[in-house]
Structure 1
């Protein structure tokens, strides 16, 4: 693994984590493996769709999809005893007397399962997974297919150094590894400020059989290191509650994406790529705030880049908020940058 000027968390060694968290990691892995053996799959929807489903459902969960997908209350007897025992030991249950509700949800993306927070995701340090995650993973897969058609990106004798910035559930980094040629060597680093997100991401990577470095802390403290591939799907909404998983700061939520892009460009090795999937509030169709801010950094012989509007209209419900009163829409966009020299 690369030597980073950064805090590398290894469970069981770091005093922040210790034996209790090592046990939690073990229990979460056991749970995810047990659920996988049940043939589980669930596609996570938008909060509005999820809420609409709940309004039309007044009963208890009938299966694991109801429990870990729709996050419905359930009787203990509906789960195999060993799964209920794991959840009890790991403190993953809200106790409602004669029924329970899971503190986590599980979603599927391709062949992998991912842990994330219970519904609704109102907590500041919630771990997000949703339709945006599927768009991000698709953007990663598509970009890597194009890279592999170009010479010089992958050399099977040399590990590709990968960094997923603000990894959340770990879906982006794992999507990268799933998209590499089967014999390609790699070094995957997962970064997040949210310790719970890193815990979930580490579990999902372990269950997927993908070795990782887990980097807890501020991405902007990573210095004197180089990566061949950096991917990021940062928070990009302007959230008055400043929740970590969704607040992108000023410029109607674009500030964090811009900061990540500028710092990531300085960490790319020659021939390295940066993939940014983000959302951008559009106030006028003849104005692109992302490119306007980044062109001074991209317009030189050091970089080649492409830009695409992936989905023209997402999170439309946010436009009702007063802070978006001048925005016409929010678009999902993708920026791909290659360092040439």
Structure 2
């Protein structure tokens, strides 16, 4: 690397200095005009397998495509900030690799885990993040004046919470997660977006760690059937829907009058039947909530259909459920 031959030893704990270095790295990337749209893991792997893509040639290759890089590829300023954040590691044969990625959304940058996201505490960002945050943004913009208290359940990078905070400037927005790494990145991303004073990353299992009612509850929970049981990916239950259904139950208890749930999820469709829709209808019956359910994309993650977990599914759809309590 540019300044030394060894990477800093990881302690397993992130210091305030490391967090500040990641924040400064995000600001430096913004100043250079850096942008990167994160694709699905399958697309990411395919692009990286192309001839010539084994190692990085540009900043986007390193911090977007997660490709190993040689000395001299990155500006010294970027290297120094990666080192200060303990976010770079040796990759063999004199190469190095960033432990983080930065992705673009809504004219902001978001730090998240490097590809591939195999670790149990990985913080994922991808196409579903864009879809969920778009839905949350549209809902928040349509009722900006009436949203005083909002929460993003399973916030990950905090993209949804930040999108809401930008459109409801008077709102207190909680970003809750059980993953300490997610809370760390959400805190950094909120500061990078200039809403760090109004987005409150909070350790919480669903809403157990926060009190009171909410005008807006948003969530993009894990919804896949994941044989590896990775927390950021596995939705629980035989259809991957347990967590989504639990969030519906929690929202029915904690929505304020006039408050809304915006739930972005997904489900394997079996012989034309959507088990999530059917189960959601049962959960919502008798709650008094007015709700709507629609497919956002009817066919995603087609590679999963080759696995045993989705052997009965004809397709996997991503869906949007909104539920509102009357005033």
TM over 0.5: yes
- 2:158: which partner in 1? 170
- 1:114: which partner in 2? 110
Query: Could you list the runs of 5+ residues in structure 1 that have no partner in the other structure?
Result: 1-18
- 1:199: which partner in 2? 184
Shift of residue 217, structure 1, vs aligned partner = 2.9
> What SS does structure 1 have at the residue aligned with 2:81?
helix
- 1:25: which partner in 2? 19
1:288 aligns with 2:274: yes
Shift of residue 99, structure 1, vs aligned partner = 2.1
- 1:6: which partner in 2? none
* C-alpha distance in structure 2 between counterparts of 1:279 and 1:297, whole Å: 17
Corresponding pairs, count: 311
* C-alpha distance in structure 2 between counterparts of 1:144 and 1:296, whole Å: 27
1:136 aligns with 2:132: yes
Is the CA contact 2:19–2:85 (under 8 Å) kept in the aligned structure 1? no
- 2:145: which partner in 1? 154
- 1:42: which partner in 2? 36
1:190 aligns with 2:175: yes
User: CA deviation digits over 1:305-329, x for unaligned, max 9?
Assistant: 1111100011111111112111111
- 1:11: which partner in 2? none
Q: Which has the higher contact order (CA 8 A, sep 6+)?
A: 1
- Given the alignment, which residue of 225, 229, 243 partners 1:242? 229
- 1:72: which partner in 2? 67
> What SS does structure 2 have at the residue aligned with 1:77?
coil
User: CA deviation digits over 1:9-41, x for unaligned, max 9?
Assistant: xxxxxxxxxx95222221111111111111100
Shift of residue 229, structure 1, vs aligned partner = 0.4
- 1:278: which partner in 2? 265
- TM-score, normalization: structure 2? 0.90
* C-alpha distance in structure 2 between counterparts of 1:196 and 1:131, whole Å: 20
Q: Structure 1: which 4+ aligned runs deviate by more than 6 Å?
A: none
Q: Report the aligned-residue RMSD.
A: 1.9
User: CA deviation digits over 1:185-211, x for unaligned, max 9?
Assistant: 010100111111110111000110112
> What SS does structure 2 have at the residue aligned with 1:332?
strand
Is the CA contact 1:193–1:218 (under 8 Å) kept in the aligned structure 2? yes
Shift of residue 109, structure 1, vs aligned partner = 0.6
* Structure 1 residues 82 and 335: CA distance shift in structure 2, 3 A: same
Is the CA contact 1:262–1:294 (under 8 Å) kept in the aligned structure 2? no
Query: Could you list the runs of 5+ residues in structure 2 that have no partner in the other structure?
Result: 1-12
Shift of residue 281, structure 1, vs aligned partner = 1.1
Shift of residue 301, structure 1, vs aligned partner = 7.1
Is the CA contact 2:202–2:209 (under 8 Å) kept in the aligned structure 1? no
Shift of residue 98, structure 1, vs aligned partner = 2.1
> What SS does structure 2 have at the residue aligned with 1:337?
strand
Shift of residue 172, structure 1, vs aligned partner = 1.1
User: CA deviation digits over 1:53-101, x for unaligned, max 9?
Assistant: 1111435322211110111122232222222112112211121352211
> What SS does structure 2 have at the residue aligned with 1:221?
coil
